[in-house]
Chain A
Amino acid sequence: MSSAPNIERLYDDHSPALFAFLLNLLRNEADTQDVMQELFIKLARRPALLENVRDECGFLLRLSHNLAIDLMRRHGTREKNYNQLAQEPMALFANSPDPDEQTFRETLAAALGELSADQRAVVHLKLWEKLTFEAIAETLEIPPNTAASRYRYGIDKLRERLRPIYEEIK
């Protein structure tokens, strides 16, 4: 029988990564909190989930991704509602004292909202979690080539969208 996982330790170790991923994916703070809570409740109730897990963070990102997809489906048509919600302005990044940098962050947050949820998930894991395409593929349960192509399309869209402001502050 497996022992109960130390939820506090798991939270302290992984909540920053889970929060950033879920906030970027769901684009809604309340939904992010709901999914994080659901995830930790699941871990507390089913300690066996973490048995034989090599990469704890990757495993938790995968679980959180699955829960986020479930939440999107529960809320309605994923493409319709969540693409609309994603394009609403939201504070994804920390504030910067530099106005140019702040403008870049706000524009980047808006541009990320214009990507599809699938592309956003891959771009996030590649840039902010620094995962390889193989690791991303495992986390999102997609083929590595799909992960690579989603990233390429996503980053091209961001580059196109941010070109004017990026050229200005470069």
Chain B
Amino acid sequence: MNSEFENKVQSQPIREVPPHWRARIVAAAQPQPSRWREWFQPFPRAWGALGAAWVVIIALHFTTPHEPRFTGNSYAPQSFAILQEQTMMMAQLLGPTNADEKPSALPAEPKPRTERTRKELIG
């Protein structure tokens, strides 16, 4: 049981909620639209036109006859064998390579490239 003092304290009315809070808090608590909606909602016609254009492009791509193109897989095994055969033939024709030959022991002496110019200048 409350004392007289507690009753006195209890009877003091606390301020009311500021009225403008309601709209703000309720609005903040409303579910937010998804990111996709945020992107697509403002310009639905533009996005629709873009989508339609892509549909047309894809349809044209599949309906237009294409020239056959070489693909890596279509010639790879045969051409690889031919290439190998050609390499072997070249090796037989050329014989051993000069790779084993020793390089010359002494490097070539530097030639007096600037001699004439100097003489001309001095003379």
A residues touching B (Cβ–Cβ < 8 Å)?
Answer: 4, 7-8, 11-12, 15-16, 19-20, 23-24, 29, 33, 36-37, 40-41, 43-45, 91-94, 104-105, 108, 127-128, 155, 158-159, 162, 166, 170
Knowing A37-B24, A108-B9, A166-B8 touch, does A91 contact B15 (C-beta < 8 A)? yes
Cα–Cα, bound, A91→B28 (Å): 26
**Contact partner, A44, options B14, B18, B31, Cβ 8 Å:** B31
In the complex, are the beta carbons of B28 and A40 less than 8 A apart? Answer: yes
In the complex, are the beta carbons of A33 and B21 less than 8 A apart? Answer: yes
Cα–Cα, bound, A7→B25 (Å): 9
**Contact partner, B14, options A4, A12, A41, A128, Cβ 8 Å:** A128
In the complex, are the beta carbons of B5 and A159 less than 8 A apart? Answer: yes
In the complex, are the beta carbons of A128 and B26 less than 8 A apart? Answer: no
**A interface: dominant SS:** helix
- Name the residue on A nearest B21 (C-beta): A33
Cα–Cα, bound, A91→B4 (Å): 24
Within 8 A of A (CB), among B34-76: none
**Contact partner, A93, options B5, B13, B24, B30, Cβ 8 Å:** B13
In the complex, are the beta carbons of B14 and A7 less than 8 A apart? Answer: no
**Contact partner, A37, options B8, B14, B25, Cβ 8 Å:** B25
**Contact partner, A94, options B9, B13, B18, B29, Cβ 8 Å:** B13
In the complex, are the beta carbons of A93 and B28 less than 8 A apart? Answer: no
Q: A41-B28, A94-B15, A166-B5 are in contact. List 6 more A-B contacts (CB 8 A).
A: A7-B30, A19-B17, A20-B14, A24-B14, A94-B14, A104-B12
Cα–Cα, bound, A33→B25 (Å): 8
Cα–Cα, bound, A170→B17 (Å): 30
- Judged by a CB distance under 8 angstroms, whether B16 is at the interface is yes
In the complex, are the beta carbons of B16 and A94 less than 8 A apart? Answer: yes
Point out the residues of chain A lying under 8 angstroms from B31, CB to CB.
Answer: 4, 44-45
